[in-house]
Amino acid sequence: MSTALVILAVMMHSSCKKAAQETVIEQEQVPVVFSYEVICDYCNISYIDASNQTKTVTSNIGKWTYKIEKKVSFDLKLSVSSIISSYQTIQAYILKDEEAVYGNLGYNHADLSYNTVSGNGTSSFGSYVSTTSTGGNSSGGTTAPTSSV
């Protein structure tokens, strides 16, 4: 009889424990939201969208953003280029949950790529080159030096 009571006690204990485990509700995983953010005037923007397709925005003025609100496992790519002949400031970023993970400030063009699985990226930005003359020329000239004492 004591063996039967021990078995009954073990069965009741394990069934209560299992019921307690089943009541634990797993928290839903909130997907990571990636996005692009660009600030520029008179620029063209190419990017990879949520369906892994290349899209283009032409003649952007001001701030532009695009959110990917689903799980992705491919490289995000963003390319920005100025459409005016003078130098143009471009700010281009790839964000993860509203925080910049890749990007910078550059001039005239920006190319960014970010692997959503590894977290690694590459980028290339144009640098500012002054187009105004600072006087004189860089050819060295042909005038012989003179000196008087």
Q: What is the pLDDT of residues 54-106, one digit of tens each?
A: 999 999 999 999 999 999 989 999 999 999 988 889 999 999 999 999 899 99
Determine, yes or no, domain membership for 100: yes
Q: How many domains does the chain have?
A: 1
Determine, yes or no, domain membership for 29: no
C-alpha span between 88 and 43 (Å, rounded): 9
Name the band, by pLDDT with cuts 50, 70 and 90, for residue 19.
very low
Determine, yes or no, domain membership for 54: yes
Write down the pLDDT at residue 36.
Answer: 97
Contact 93/120 with Cβ under 8 angstroms? no
CA distances from 93 to 9, 82, 90 (A): 62, 16, 10
Contact 98/32 with Cβ under 8 angstroms? no
Res 149 pLDDT > 50: no
Q: Which residues contact 56 (CB under 8 A, 6 or more apart)?
A: 44, 45, 46, 47
Per-position b or e across 20-33, b if 16+ CB within 10 A of its CB:
eeeeeeeeeeeeee
Write down the pLDDT at residue 32.
Answer: 87
Determine, yes or no, domain membership for 130: no
Determine, yes or no, domain membership for 14: no
Which range of residues forms the domain containing residue 59? 34-125
Determine, yes or no, domain membership for 27: no
Determine, yes or no, domain membership for 89: yes
Determine, yes or no, domain membership for 139: no
